[in-house]
Structure 1
Amino acid sequence: MYFLPGLHVTDSGQVLVCGYLTHTVVQVDRDGRQILAEVVTENNGVILPLSVYYSKHTRSIIVGMRNNTDITVFKEQ
Structure 2
Amino acid sequence: MLLWLAVDRCAVSPAGNKLYITNPSQHKLLTLARDGTILATFTDPELRGPLGLHVTPAGQVLVCGFRSSTILQVDREGFWKLDTLATQMDGVVEPWSVCYSSTTSSILVGQWWNNKFLVFTVE
The TM-score normalised by the length of structure 2 is: 0.57
1:67 paired with 2:106, answer no
**SS in structure 1 opposite 2:113?**
coil
Letter in 1 for 2:66: Y
Q: Which runs of 5+ in 2 are unaligned?
A: 1-24, 26-48
Match of 2:98 among 52, 57, 74: 52
Q: After TM superposition, where is structure 1 displaced by more than 4 Å over at least 4 residues in a row?
A: none
RMSD: 1.5
Q: Which runs of 5+ in 1 are unaligned?
A: none
- Using the alignment, how far apart are the partners of 1:39 and 1:4 within structure 2? 14
For these two proteins, the number of residue pairs brought into alignment is 76
Q: Which has the larger radius of gyration?
A: 2
C-alpha change, 1:4 and 1:76, in structure 2 (3 Å) is closer
User: Bigger relative contact order, structure 1 or 2, given CA contacts below 8 A and separation 6+?
Assistant: 1
More moved, 51-60 vs 25-34: 25-34
Assess if the C-alpha contact under 8 Å between 2:52 and 2:96 holds in 1.
yes
Deviation at 1:73?
Answer: 0.8
Letter in 2 for 1:22: S
The percent of aligned pairs where both chains have the same amino acid is 46
**SS in structure 1 opposite 2:51?**
coil
The TM-score normalised by the length of structure 1 is: 0.88
